[in-house]
């Protein structure tokens, strides 16, 4: 029985190892041939057809190269020696030395040297990142506007300035003045006319009659006359009167005159009164009555223009309010984005955020700055529009001022009463008032043209008193034919006394009749007036429909704007809640910069929509006032009637 000797076994193992080492080097230097594929089923399914790979080694003969720390399915190739490299033979000491197993070592991987296994891990060297400074704020300076010259103004003050300085209002006011001047011109036809004709008439006339009192055959006379007269037409009845006073001083060379010189006077009143045509109305009274209606029409036009200007001022004022509030919203949005950028820069410098987040915030900041600049442009446009309505001169110093509105939109939660609004519009709308006045003018034309068809019958009457007095003829100087009566002897005042006694008078009464045979002109004018009456009725009905449509649309706009304000306020409150929640998630790292920016934009849009809805409600209310023509009353504006004293 042989006993097991460990020393012999070791020597046999060492000798076998020495013999096998050279053979292993030869095998390592000789590349093995690639075996041909055995069948198509053994191809790799992930390779395209036509590409081949080595036969699959049975799983039980493969070395385990899977790293337990790597995910399943990811394989690491086994270490291989490149062809042609010589493997140094191992010494018995190396063969008998126990292998050092590294923690988390991959089976089949090449073992690391002993000095690297015991080395401690080195801390990674990250580059230091300094936070970037915030970019400057955008330049919000507006051209031609001095930022230090701020003018605060309320809506009522803007309306007062517009009514006092607006050029369109001035034009409409001048139209009323022109119409009033034309009315006074037509009424001037009833002003009395005073006429006087002083005259001297000296004549030398040859006389062939021996009884003419001119023995020399020549008769010389000299007459000085002064004859004032007053003429006036009646504003009622269409009649006219004339009061004339004639005064003459006569000197003659005739021997047959018992008075030389002598005075003669005549006071006469002549009246002409139409009885049929032109009695109730004539052309003068027609023009005056029509012009009065036109003055009222010009006043209605002035009221309409005033209402339009006030509505424009209200719209421009609320546009400016919205523009400035929108600018403030955009400015707050920019400041919020700048705060986001400051936080991102701090997190990037601390290594908590990637530099890519900076680009995202910078992009959003640029977009918000662009929106802020657009809002500033909108402020300039709204401000210039309001200045154009308020200022009279383009060189006024207020053009360089910055206007700041003081009024804020006030929303009435009560709905609009449509029936009351329609009633107010039918009573107050200047368009309907103008058509009613035009219908009155047509009625005046109808009355006048009917009157012109009648025959003309005028009553004419004259009442006159005469006076005479003079110096008796001097028989010692000239030949006298006799002595005058005693009541005729005297001077000019004796002449007036005889005139006042009405002892010598003249009374005439008559009728002047004119009958037209066809009167075609008057009949054609009457027919045209009837046609115009039908046109006016159709125009009134059409305008009433337009007015009702305007009121209905304006009332619906107010109601829609009221509801939009309520929904916009709810949306703004919910957006604030959403942003607050998103900020809490972002602070604990459960949200992203992108989602935070989206919530901020949603809140900015909600605030902007609320401002737009509130100012839109105020503009809708002013539009309803314009549709019902209650703008003047709502803004305490009083327009005087030009026909009232």
Domains of the chain from N-terminus onward: 284-438+524-634 (1.20.1600.10)
Say if CB 530 and CB 607 are below 8 A apart. no
Looking at residue 252, what is its pLDDT?
Answer: 82
Which of the two residues, 16 and 169, has the higher pLDDT score? 169
Looking at residue 311, what is its pLDDT?
Answer: 93
- Cα(492)–Cα(265) distance, rounded to whole angstroms? 9
Q: Is the pLDDT of residue 214 over 80?
A: no
Q: How many CB atoms lie within 10 A of CB 66?
A: 15
Looking at residue 473, what is its pLDDT?
Answer: 74
Which helix (H) or strand (E) segment holds residue 268: the answer is strand 259-274
Region 587-598 average pLDDT? 85
Which of the two residues, 212 and 602, has the higher pLDDT score? 602
Q: Is the pLDDT of residue 569 over 90?
A: yes
pLDDT over 90 percentage in the chain: 43
Question: Average pLDDT of the chain?
Answer: 80
DSSP string, 595-631: HHHHHHHHHHHHHHHHHHHHHHHHHHHHHHHHHHT-H
Q: How confident is the model at residue 31 (pLDDT cuts 50, 70, 90)?
A: very low
Q: How confident is the model at residue 316 (pLDDT cuts 50, 70, 90)?
A: very high
3-state DSSP of 218-232: EEEEEEEEECEEEEE
pTM of the full structure: 0.65
Strand partners, 459: 273, 511
CA distances from 11 to 3, 18, 22, 150, 338 (A): 16, 11, 18, 110, 82
Looking at residue 64, what is its pLDDT?
Answer: 46
Q: How confident is the model at residue 143 (pLDDT cuts 50, 70, 90)?
A: confident
Q: Is the pLDDT of residue 326 over 80?
A: yes
Looking at residue 32, what is its pLDDT?
Answer: 41
Q: Is the pLDDT of residue 348 over 90?
A: no
Q: Is the pLDDT of residue 62 over 70?
A: no
Looking at residue 452, what is its pLDDT?
Answer: 92
Q: How confident is the model at residue 573 (pLDDT cuts 50, 70, 90)?
A: very high
Q: In terms of DSSP bridges, do strands 402-405 and 228-233 run parallel, antiparallel, or are they unpaired?
A: unpaired
Q: Is the pLDDT of residue 313 over 90?
A: yes
Q: Is the pLDDT of residue 349 over 60?
A: yes
Q: How confident is the model at residue 106 (pLDDT cuts 50, 70, 90)?
A: very low
Main-chain phi, psi angles of 247, to 5 degrees: -130, 130
Looking at residue 67, what is its pLDDT?
Answer: 47
End-to-end Cα distance, the chain: 160
Condensed to tens digits (0 to 9), the pLDDT of residues 225-269 reads 999 999 999 888 889 999 999 999 988 877 777 788 888 999 999
Lowest mean pLDDT among 60-64, 187-191, 380-384: 60-64
Reduced to 3 states (helix: H, G, I; strand: E, B; else coil), residue 465 is strand
Looking at residue 327, what is its pLDDT?
Answer: 92
Looking at residue 126, what is its pLDDT?
Answer: 55
Q: Which of 50, 464, 413 is nearest to 229 (CA)?
A: 464
């Amino acid at each position: 029985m042989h006993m097991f000797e460990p020393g012999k076994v070791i020597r046999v193992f060492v000798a076998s190892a020495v013999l096998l080492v050279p053979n292993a080097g030869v095998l390592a230097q000789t590349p093995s041939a690639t075996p041909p594929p055995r069948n198509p089923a053994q191809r790799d399914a992930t390779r395209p057809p036509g590409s081949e790979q080595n036969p699959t080694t049975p799983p039980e003969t493969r070395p385990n190269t899977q790293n337990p720390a790597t995910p399943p399915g990811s394989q690491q190739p086994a270490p291989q020696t490149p062809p042609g490299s010589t493997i140094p033979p191992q010494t018995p000491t190396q063969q008998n030395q126990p292998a050092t197993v590294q923690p988390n070592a991959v089976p089949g991987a090449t073992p690391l040297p002993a000095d690297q296994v015991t080395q401690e891990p080195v801390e990674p060297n990250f580059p230091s990142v300094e936070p970037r400074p915030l970019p400057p704020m955008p330049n919000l300076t507006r051209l031609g506007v001095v930022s230090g010259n701020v003018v605060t103004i309320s809506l009522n003050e803007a309306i007062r300035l517009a009514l006092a300085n607006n050029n369109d209002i001035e034009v409409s006011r001048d139209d009323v003045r022109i119409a009033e001047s034309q009315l006074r011109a037509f009424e001037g036809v009833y002003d009395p006319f005073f006429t006087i004709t002083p005259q001297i008439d000296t004549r030398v006339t040859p006389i062939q009659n021996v009884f003419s009192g001119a023995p020399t055959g020549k008769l010389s006379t000299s007459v000085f006359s002064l004859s004032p007269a007053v003429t006036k037409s009646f504003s009622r009845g269409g009649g006219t009167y004339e009061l004339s006073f004639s005064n003459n001083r006569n000197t003659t060379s005739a021997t047959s005159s018992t008075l030389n010189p002598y005075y003669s006077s005549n006071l006469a009143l002549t009246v002409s009164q139409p009885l049929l045509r032109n009695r109730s109305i004539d052309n003068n009274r027609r023009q005056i009555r029509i012009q009065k209606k036109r003055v009222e029409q010009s006043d209605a036009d002035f009221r309409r223009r005033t209402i339009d200007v006030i509505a424009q001022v209200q719209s421009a004022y609320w546009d400016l309010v919205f523009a400035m509030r929108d600018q403030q919203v955009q400015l707050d949005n920019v400041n919020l984005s700048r705060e986001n950028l400051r936080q991102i820069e701090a997190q990037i410098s601390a290594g908590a955020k990637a530099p890519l987040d900076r680009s995202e915030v910078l992009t959003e900041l640029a977009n918000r700055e662009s929106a802020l600049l657009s809002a500033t442009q909108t402020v300039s446009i709204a401000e210039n529009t309001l200045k154009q309505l308020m200022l009279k001169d383009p060189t006024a110093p207020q053009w360089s001022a910055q206007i700041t509105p003081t009024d804020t939109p006030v929303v009435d939660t009560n709905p609009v009463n449509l029936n009351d609004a329609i009633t107010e519009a039918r009573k107050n709308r200047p368009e309907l008032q103008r058509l009613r006045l035009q219908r009155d003018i047509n009625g005046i034309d109808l009355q006048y043209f009917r009157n012109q068809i009648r025959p003309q019958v005028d009553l004419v009457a004259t009442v006159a008193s005469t006076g005479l007095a003079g110096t008796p003829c001097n028989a010692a100087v000239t030949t006298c034919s006799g002595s005058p009566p005693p009541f005729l002897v005297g001077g000019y005042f004796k002449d007036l006394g005889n005139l006042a006694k009405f002892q010598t008078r003249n009374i005439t009464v008559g009728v002047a009749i004119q009958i037209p045979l066809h009167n075609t002109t008057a009949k054609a004018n009457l027919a045209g007036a009837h046609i115009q009456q039908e046109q006016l009725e159709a125009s009134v009905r059409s305008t009433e429909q337009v007015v009702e449509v305007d009121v209905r649309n304006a009332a619906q706009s107010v109601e829609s704007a009221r509801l939009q304000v309520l929904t916009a306020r709810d949306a703004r409150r919910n957006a604030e809640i959403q942003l607050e929640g998103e900020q809490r998630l972002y602070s604990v790292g459960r949200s992203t910069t992108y989602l935070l920016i989206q919530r901020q934009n949603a809140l900015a849009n909600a605030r902007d929509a609320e401002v737009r809805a509130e100012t839109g409600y105020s503009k809708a209310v002013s539009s309803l006032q314009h549709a019902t023509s209650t703008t003047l009353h709502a803004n305490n504006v009083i327009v005087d009637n030009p026909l009232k004293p």
